[in-house]
Amino acid sequence: MSRRDRNETVGSLGRSPARTSSAPAGGPRPPPSEPPPPDRGALRRWVHGALFDNIGLKFLSLVLAVTVFLLVNTDKDREITARIGVSYSLPDDKVLVSERLDEVRVTIKGPWQRLRKFDEREVERVNLDLRRAPAGDVVITPEMIHLPSNLTLTSISPRTVHVAFDRRIEKLVEVSVPVSGRPEHGFVVSEVKPVPATIKVRGAETTLRALASVQTREVSFEGRTESFVAETEIVAPDGVDVEGSPGVVVHVLVDEELVTRKLPALTVSVRGDGIDPAKWQVTPAQVDVTLTGTLLAVEKAKAAIAPIVRLTPGGDGKPREVELVIDGLPPGIGVKVSPERVKVMPVKAAPPSPTP
């Protein structure tokens, strides 16, 4: 069999026999059949395979990609801003009277990995050595700032600081104790004595020239009824240093309050055994009484005292002057009566009415 014959035979075997149409010749054709719906199961299988087939290999590829990205990008230099503190070295015989610079703002450049670990609190403070410096502007140089390795300083703000000096002197000043509160009613603070009463301070000549005293922390008298001792300390003004210990012992003396109270127009009473007060007339009928003593005792005595004259029975019944006595006066209270003596006389009986 020739090659052509073999090909025709194979082609005829691979083809299906032709379908015969059952429709009569010349009749209407049947409608075409609808295409089959898409296979959704195949789509789901493809998505599942794309996500989860060889998942270990895919995760390793993701990790390698992220690592390469970080290694490439974190090696780039970046800049950050930080604050560095400033300290001063001052001469012994001078005082810095210009405004102090507490910190400088710096810009630092370096690899991001190094910058992430940078802590501005670990950097030494910028030391301004002014022991031999004249007054004027002092320049802050990059050599004054010590950064970790692989980091570069790119800017400093401010670059200069103005300094001015005054002569340092010593002066002896008084110690003043500010107070607050009130003792209990009826009591008063009679003395506040700090120990020591004076103290030596150091500072700028222009400042100490106008300084006469320094104050301690506040001492409270609130609710006190007895003397007491308080420990406190001096609070020196800015730019003034206290020589020695700033501690102060304050002795506070608390006493009962002494007062003088005038009780005007108190009515005089007549008393005596067998005496009928209604039969006696007193002139003047009212007197002024002044009490002196502690506040609590005087307040208590005000409601208890009464000016009286004492008469004895069997008198001749004539008008006379007698000395006033304050009845109910507690001990320890001073008293003054005005007037001290009054006139007493019997009341005349009314004449009998005429009989009709």
Each residue's pLDDT tens digit, 46-105: 766 666 677 777 778 788 877 766 655 555 789 999 999 999 999 989 999 999 999 999
pTM: 0.59
Q: Walk across the sheet containing 286-294 and list its strands.
A: 258-267, 286-294, 334-338
Q: What is the mean pLDDT of residues 107-129?
A: 92
Q: pLDDT tens digits, residue range 17-37?
A: 444 444 444 455 655 555 565
DSSP secondary structure letter of residue 275: -
**Contact (Cβ atoms closer than 8 angstroms) between residue 146 and residue 175:** no
More confident residue, 95 or 12: 95
16 pLDDT more than 50? no
| 42 or 111, higher pLDDT | 111
Q: Check residue 33 and give its pLDDT.
A: 58
Residue position matching structure tokens 């006139």 = 343
Q: What are the tens digits of pLDDT across the range 217-263?
A: 999 999 999 999 999 999 999 889 999 999 999 999 999 999 999 99
**Rounded Cα distance, 254 and 189, in Å:** 4
pLDDT at 57: 77
CA distance 58 to 46: 16
Per residue, the 3-state secondary structure of 70-120, as one string, reads: HHHHHCCEEEEEEEEEEEEECCCCEEECCCCCCEEEEEEEEEHHHHHCCCH
pLDDT at residue 199 tops 60: yes
Model pLDDT for residues 268-318, shown as the tens digit of each residue: 999 988 888 888 999 999 999 999 999 999 999 998 999 999 988 766 668
Q: Helix H segments across 178-247?
A: 205-209
